[in-house]
Amino acid sequence: MSATTLDVNHRLLTVSPSDASRDASASGLDDHVATHGALAVPARDDPGWTAAIQRAVSESGLLGRGGAGFPSAIKWDAVRRGGRRPMVVVNAMEGEPASAKDKVLLGCSPHLVLDGAEVAAAVVGASDIVVCVADDAGSTAASVQAAIAERERAGAAGRQISVERPPGRYVSGEESALVEWLNDRQALPTLRIDKSVPLSIGRRPVLVHNAETLSQVALIARHGPEWFRRLGTPEAPGSTLVTVTGAVRSPGVLEVELGTPVGEIVSRAGFVGELSGLLLGGYGGAWLDPSHLSTLYAPGPLRAAGATLGVGIVVALPATSCGIAETARIVRYMAGESAGQCGPCVFGLAAIAEDFELLGSGRGVAGVLERIEGRAAAVDGRGACRHPDGVVRLATTALAVFAEDARAHAQGRPCPGHRAPSVLTFPAATVRGRRAS
Ligand code: SF4
């Protein structure tokens, strides 16, 4: 995976990942301060500073970069009102197999994420910060550990920062699952009726933020909301990280301005040839047909097109691949990643995966398309978390975008691409586990 630096003031990625792999803390503290400037975060409660930062983040319009797109400032208010001393959790789990942005960000600019965590902790009054990195992402964890040690040596650590290693599974990064694990339970999502009530560790309210969101907070705290809004759209300001894979010469992580046409993003990654479809948002995202290359990469335009920003993934599917066969692989993987708690998710996703595999094989099965659609409708919105909803969106958009191929497959006339090797990435199987004591 490669990374590209956005050639404007929004510089999330300042070191290439190849440099980062030579030295776990490639963007050391001195380089970091030289690039971004110093950031003074008060060690104790400072109402004036807190109010100024809250105002800056609120006026910046920063939306969380972890998938939900929730305004960051609103999350902070809820945690501040939580009573007991809060904790800040940095979610760098990156459970999406097609995503590499947390690895690249924390490999290249770990101090930017830690700065943002310190800012958030100071605002909500937290005394400690936990960075969660999946147990299968050793080099990312090493980069964060090295950065923490460097801050401690330099006397620049305002709060206690530790690294935890939850199991690297798709749903472990869901914020309620992460907090369950930090509470010494299994990393499984919990049903949350009212999401405005903060999660808690013990009885302490906890603020969970995605790593990229915190790196943006660190930049807003330095440069202010007007600077941040110089990029992006009025509704979705700033830049964001996107992992681009598929039919591109240079798959990797790009920093792009929100509102950039999707086609420009895939061109920057070296798109070659003809596309049969675009997967936006990740494996719980949505397929779009290639006519959407002109759609702007921002939450509103993507929503209008039936897609989602999700966790910042664009997969360019070449015309030589089969969208139905690729979807069958993703659905099978996602069914295996069900946390096994909710019947519609466990049984429904397994049944959809089986039907999609039959469809992908092109053997011709009467009624398979109607069966997938019926099962998708029965599963949608029926889980404790949104895992099954993402699979339903992926499956139903595949049937719409690759409709002609789907009908031909169902009639026993598979497209030539159904035997082509997959352009997608899947991790090795992992075992669900409890937090090590
Ligand atoms: S919906 Fe699925 S993944 Fe989510 S909690 Fe229920 S069983 Fe687990």
Delineate the domains of the chain, giving CATH numbers in brackets: 2-229 (3.40.50.11540), 239-315 (3.10.20.600), 323-419 (1.20.1440.230)
381 alpha carbon – ligand 1 mean position (Å): 11
**Which residue, 260, 221, 287, 236, is CA-closest to 65?**
236
Among 341, 349, 352, which is best to mutate for testing ligand 1, by the most ligand atoms less than 8 A from CB?
341
Taking CA atoms only, the protein residue closest to ligand 1 atom 4 is 385
Among 338, 380, 386, which is best to mutate for testing ligand 1, by the most ligand atoms less than 8 A from CB?
338
Q: Which atom of ligand 1 is nearest to the CA of 349?
A: 2
Give dist(CA 116, CA 50) in Å, integer: 13
Give dist(CA 260, CA 242) in Å, integer: 11
Q: Which atom of ligand 1 is nearest to the CA of 177?
A: 5
337 alpha carbon – ligand 1 mean position (Å): 9
**Which residue, 38, 17, 407, 82, is CA-closest to 250?**
17
E runs forming strands in 21-167: 87-92, 128-133, 160-164
345 lines ligand 1 (CB under 6 A): yes
Among 193, 385, 389, 392, which is best to mutate for testing ligand 1, by the most ligand atoms less than 8 A from CB?
385
CB under 8 Å to 39, separation ≥6 — which residues?
Answer: 115, 118, 119, 218, 221, 222
Q: Which atom of ligand 1 is nearest to the CA of 340?
A: 7
- Cα separation of the two ends of the chain: 34
164 alpha carbon – ligand 1 mean position (Å): 23
Taking CA atoms only, the protein residue closest to ligand 1 atom 8 is 339
Sheet order of strands, 252-257 included: 2-4, 252-257, 239-246, 313-318, 275-280, 286-288
Question: What pTM does this model have?
Answer: 0.90
Q: Which atom of ligand 1 is nearest to the CA of 346?
A: 7
Q: What is the pLDDT along the chain (437 residues), one digit of tens a residue?
A: 544 444 444 567 765 544 444 444 457 899 999 989 999 999 888 999 999 999 999 999 998 887 666 667 777 887 887 678 899 999 999 999 999 999 999 999 999 999 999 999 999 999 999 999 999 999 999 999 999 999 999 887 778 999 999 999 999 999 999 999 999 999 998 877 777 788 999 989 999 999 999 999 999 999 999 999 999 999 999 999 999 999 899 999 999 999 999 999 999 999 878 999 999 999 999 999 999 999 999 999 999 999 999 999 999 999 999 999 999 999 999 999 998 889 999 999 999 999 999 999 988 888 999 999 999 999 999 888 889 999 999 999 999 999 999 999 999 999 888 889 999 988 865 434 334 33
